[in-house]
Structure 1
């Protein structure tokens, strides 16, 4: 940030994310059922020195600072008919 009115010279973050995906097949029969599961985790490794963090890699908490970690999960039910 080159503006003199800026209170911060730069922003610097370091984070690592992991995504796990599990996909099932379908049950046997004319109508087959299946399930897919997904999990995501993000970990803040470093948020810079002297208040340089906040570059946008991590979600913010209620106070406006970047969170140390976060996670999400999702499930998808799936159905197939015959060979379609």
Structure 2
């Protein structure tokens, strides 16, 4: 099936993100996954691979706001 017609369920989304299926479900329930591309089957949302591949999960990446302006401590 061509990639633009293929749809991923929780198992495929979880595998792509490197998380458990339960974690993928929790992310959807919290609203931290993109909106599903197909909701025609109740309780079985499905996403196009491109939707998940193009999405940047919250909490991923460098947090520059966590670094303080204080100099690094020296030991010795």
TM-score (norm 2): 0.25
Structure with the larger strand share: 1
TM-score (norm 1): 0.24
Structure with the larger helix share: 2
Largest Rg, 1 or 2 = 1
